[in-house]
Amino acid sequence: MAESKDYYQILGVSKDATADDLKKAYRKLAKQYHPDAQHTEADKKNAEAKFKEINEAYSVLSDDTKRAQYDRFGSNFEQAGFGGGSYGSYGGFGGFDGFGMDIDLEDILGSVFGGGFSSSRKSSGPTKGADIRTTLNLKFEEAAFGVKKEINITRNEKCDTCNGSGAKPGSKIITCDKCGGRGKIQVTQNTIMGSFSTVRTCDKCSGSGKVIQTPCEKCSGKGTVRKNRKIEINVPAGIDNGQAIPLRGEGDAGLKGGPNGDIYVVVKVGSHKYFRREGYDIFANVRVPFAKMVLGGDIKIPTLEGEMEFSIPEGTSSGTKFRVKDQGIPILNGKGRGVLEFVVDVDVPKKLNDEQRELLKKFAQSFGDEVNVKKKSIFDDIKSKFN
């Protein structure tokens, strides 16, 4: 048997709360846990569970008879001999389900949310189309300098046969026969506690009170059709990995005159063979021959557009950083460019011929350095030449 729930605690009210206190607490919580107020799927899941609990608590405590039963027996019906189940089982956000719900949730929440509640998912009024998210792969340079690209998407577009109405051209829009045009239906259930009625949004007309006599054949009454589209986009210079380009109004078509959704093109930027990017600055390592490090002079460094000459001073040591202004990434929607920073590493020659080796040794000796040569064969070789 499930543990008895503390409905007072769930609503955050005291045991002697008045009907008004309950209603206030309920509104506050219902607003907080409303599915439309959640931003992530995980939040939605949590909120849904919490919402069920809140509704269950309110449906019991707002009814004097049930509240009295609850105060005596707790939330577990078996104990009280009511034959299983807890009060007011709730069938998800689409509407109430089960007995014990003599509440018109839409009446209660309508004032809070400024519209229908349980019908919010399939609203009868104008609805904004869904946003579409897509990924665009860019080369490093394409992101740096901007590029024209084409993306392929599939979206819902307004059906041109029925102009979005969902009705076959020439057919009539008639009053819903299920709800008689009220948009709501009352469901009465007989339980051992008596009859209870639930008011819910009419599923046939989604609360609009009107239905299409003959649905449009092309879109089956939906008012939209799926279409594949190629869309050209101007990728702005300076965009970085993970940033999105919004294309307003290019998403799914709105319903019943609602605005279209948007497209968000999220860019994924590839790596560069020389450069690493941080914001608008780029970083590289440049190998410089030993003699050039010592003597100084012009070296070639890579740039985004190719290469350029750069003069390093005499006696540059390995690991020295140099910064070149305006050779980085162009600033997104702005002026100027970031910095190119490069670190020089000495390019130590791997293979020397005899002559070079001899020169180097003489060079070292000119400083009074002792020349240690590890490899025996080379040592012998050198020795033989100097003897």
Site of interaction with Zn ion (CB under 5 A): 159, 161-162, 176, 178-179, 202, 204-205, 216, 218-219
Decide whether 25 or 219 has the Cβ nearer to Zn ion: 219
What distance in Å separates the CA atoms of residue 358 and residue 382, rounded to the nearest whole number?
8
Cβ 116 to Zn ion shortest distance, Å: 13
Cβ 163 to Zn ion shortest distance, Å: 8
Decide whether 101 or 185 has the Cβ nearer to Zn ion: 185
Decide whether 178 or 292 has the Cβ nearer to Zn ion: 178
User: What Cα–Cα distance (Å) separates residue 145 from each residue in 148, 330, 335?
Assistant: 10, 7, 13
Provide the token pair at 304: 């985004």
Backbone angles phi, psi at 275, to 5 degrees: -105, 150
Decide whether 135 or 163 has the Cβ nearer to Zn ion: 163
Provide the token pair at 199: 């008011």
Decide whether 143 or 225 has the Cβ nearer to Zn ion: 225
How many CA atoms lie less than 13 Å away from 168 in the CB half-sphere? Answer: 6
What distance in Å separates the CA atoms of residue 265 and residue 231, rounded to the nearest whole number?
11
Decide whether 203 or 358 has the Cβ nearer to Zn ion: 203
**C-beta separation of 156 from 127 below 8 A:** no
Cβ 240 to Zn ion shortest distance, Å: 42
Q: Which residues contact 81 (CB under 8 A, 6 or more apart)?
A: none
Task: Order across the sheet with 263-269: list the strands.
Answer: 132-138, 263-269, 244-247
Cβ 132 to Zn ion shortest distance, Å: 21
Cβ 181 to Zn ion shortest distance, Å: 7
> Strands 224-235 and 210-212: what pairing?
unpaired
Decide whether 154 or 271 has the Cβ nearer to Zn ion: 154
58: left (phi over 0), alpha (psi -120 to 50) or beta: alpha
> Strands 263-269 and 244-247: what pairing?
antiparallel
Cβ 258 to Zn ion shortest distance, Å: 16
Cβ 161 to Zn ion shortest distance, Å: 4
